[in-house]
Structure 1
Amino acid sequence: MPQCIEQAIVAATALLTPSSDSAKLDAQVLLLSIIDKPRSYLFTWPEKQLTEQQQRDFEQACQRRLNGEPVAHIVGFREFWSLPLKVNPTTLIPRPDTETLVEYALGLELPTAANVLDLGTGTGAIALALASEMPNWQVTGVDRVADAVELAKENKQRLAINNANFALSNWFSAVSTQKFDLIVSNPPYIEHDDEHLSQGDVRFEPLSALVADDDGMADIKQIITIARDYLATNGYLLIEHGYKQSVKVQEFFAQMSYSHILTIKDLGGNDRVTLAQWPK
């Protein structure tokens, strides 16, 4: 029998609590996707009765979440930097910690019409966030996965962000030899034997976007090394990394002759992004 909105949220929260530390929020997001209403609707019309179809769809969505499937994959979207991005299992789900990179990049002293490159763009989250805030910037996002590139293009078109473009490239392999004022990346940086790979949402995300050789440092080192040929004078490279990797990242930046090396903490107070400037 169909429930009202308030009853449905209460029941779903109780169901999901043993397997999720955000059970009530999960329930709310799942229900909103089914009834296609803004969040305020839950509080304005708590007594509104669900239809039988909505009740069935909601129960099925809750069961998928109970089985561990990420909410973002169930509803098909995840908000990042206030942008509703379409997501699917071919890419990483954008995370709030990555907004640290976006926020710091926007505060850098760059040319008015900066040329920006986002390596491993996935959904296009970082590229689209930067482009949406800086309409005079020209932002290029690349990814080695064709489905990810198509997803980023779809997000660009749906959000009508015209100063971002996306292309297929394995890091710099298909990037022209132009110079960039800013290069950003959230590359794979997790070690192969990390216990978190068998926990939570990451179980449903592509390993190729998560795991790297050399204790998680292989792709980071490759980017830092090659980026020197693509950075403009005094251009910046910003890389997201694991919270225990900041010292190694700083040391490699220094080894590769970068300057003004700095690590930034995320919302949880963990080392999350390291940037450096190419001075030559």
Structure 2
Amino acid sequence: MSDAVPVTVLGLGEMGGALAAAFVAAGRPTTVWNRTAARADALVELGAVRAGSVSEAVGASPLVVVCLLDYAVAREALKPAAGRLRGRTVVNLTNGTPTQAAQMAAWVAEQGGEYLDGGIMAVPTTVATPEAFILYSGEERVFETHRAALEELGAAKYLGSDIGLASLYDLALLSGMTLMFDGFHHAVAMATSAEQGSASGFTELLVPWLTNMARLLPAFAAEVDAERTSRTTPQLTQGLDVQVSGLLNIMNASRDAGVSTAPLEPAMAALEGLLETGHSEWSAPASVRQLKTT
């Protein structure tokens, strides 16, 4: 890949180091920088070039990938190189909010650079494997210009020109993951309250159950979208009395088992809220609408 566009990676924590290693493994000329220079040692042995400063690192490549703790740290790191951003593209894979993405995009534009925001849906060990995908938002022309390099990190998913969309989807995906893990912890606490209960044995049942239930999500999503655009009446519903009765049984069994019901209480409050507003049936669109505050 002697004709490959060079890339610079700023930030060599576990994730940033994995991104840089993926570029090096793909044969792409890679310059790296980290505040603690020793973090680059292993990458240099693989073939990366260590930059002595952020300004040197940015100046080495037309494509600059940033992966740092947060947007404030990323902005601070880039400041000394502001004068060298003109004509370059910054791809910020730092975790942050849509508002922060818009602010960073505006700042890079003021320096004469172009900007893509991104969200990494992978752990360091899965970067550049079929399991990894990375979300991107920003100007499509900029994304297409650098698509080949970005695909070396994992499947590149372009979401659109709204600069904050990658951050929004990233955090929403992490929200779904967090609540799933909370549900897992509560379920295992219940299952292991029995003398013969086994976390491993229970989880062997939980995984296929959740996998089967996850297959309903695309249908729920289609109904949410349909209601937003045409107010179509949902077809996938269940009586709220059934929902409340079932959740009440889970909560009572939890109390009997000496397990906190705290993770379940927001769900019960939501069901009761639907009843109070005149609903008799549960549906995905109603639950999504209920969560929105504006």
TM-score bucket (shorter structure) = 0.3 to 0.5
Larger RCO, structures 1/2 (Cα 8 Å, 6+ apart) = 1
Rg larger for:
2
TM-score for both structures, normalised by structure 1: 0.35
| Greater fraction of residues in helix | 2
